[in-house]
Amino acid sequence: LAQARQSVSHRSPRLASRASRLAAAMADPCAEFAGMKSFWDIPGMKAGVITGDIAWNLLKFAKAKGFAIPAFNCTTSSSCNAVLEAGKNLNRPITIQFSEGGSAFFAGKSLPNDKGKLQASVLGAVCGAHYVRQVAPAYGIPVIVHSDHCAKKLLPWFDGMLEADEAFFKAHGEPLFTSHMLDLSEEPDAENIEICKKYLTRMKPLNLILEMEIGITGGVEDGVDNSGVAREKLYSTPEDVYAVYEGLSPISEKFMIAAAFGNVHGVYKPGNVKLRPELLDEFQKYAAGKLGTEKPLFFVFHGGSGSEKHEIATALAAGVAKMNVDTDTQWAYWEGILNFYKAKSGYLQGQIG
């Protein structure tokens, strides 16, 4: 590339400029966004739910600028509103995501949610996505709508959401959701990647983004208990992560990797969890050595609640473009209700509202 750039510079300034841009893109896939001042400068950026190339370019912008789009698990319209309000107040893009259990709660816990169908979870996630689509433009910020961890036993939920995406795409030219996560980390790595390949192939025509997990996030979330998992499963290897890239990149560039670096769901006392975000930089360097591009991987930070600031900074520098927050927002939600009750206890004995 350097020789080509030098050669064409003598013949055509325009060709020289194109060669320079190509070289920059090869050096860093997010280089074109480094010079932008604001995410609003991304072509096509708008308030409301974003999908496809616009959403992917937002993640590229975040990676180029060294920050992550925060992703908050929501279970009700009021928790969605709280996240949207925070984004509006800060003028920042946000992600609203629904877990399988949270989706069932959104629809109503009294509804049947049969094993192998998970119809309430499908209904709740779809209703949640439609709700966010309706109200998000009023908050004046870009919003990504995402579905969280989907284990192998929950694939009927994933299939139901994809059917809703396909129907919405047929009617509107874009999917209902922005992105979905497959979490097949409990399966053998080869099976994990093969299933992800199958679903990414289905998702590509809809311009959907896939998030996948390699290695296991510890702790407990949404009824899934990984608190007793073997310690070595909490840390991915460069070979593990690169195998994901090799499997998915021929299908689509639009995928993110939740690589394990000691992540644990929940909030724990300092020292109880050994996060090693520096591993992400090792994964990037390994992939860069294979591909000849700088930081080719897009990472997701799971178990973000309660993390130390320096750990977050290290992860961001290594290419984390999305960071999940669940426990912290659950705590803020119930603590707010508790404090309101304490402050208004006397009044509430005779009147509510």
Return all residues near 169 (Cβ < 8 A) that are at least 6 apart: 175, 176, 206
Exposure on the CB side of residue 45, measured as CA atoms within 13 A = 18
Chain-centre distance for alpha carbon 253: 15
Task: List 214's β-bridge partners, or say none.
Answer: 259
Question: Catalytic pick from 53, 114, 148, 183?
Answer: 148
Dihedral sign for Cα atoms in the order 205, 208, 214, 215: negative
The distance of Cα 112 from the centroid of its chain, to the nearest Å, equals 29
Q: Answer whether 86's CB lies under 8 Å from 55's CB.
A: no
Contact (Cβ atoms closer than 8 angstroms) between residue 44 and residue 52: no
**Three-state secondary structure call for residue 28:** coil
Question: Is 159 in the active site?
Answer: no
Structure tokens at 274: 């050994």
So which residues are the catalytic ones? Answer: 148
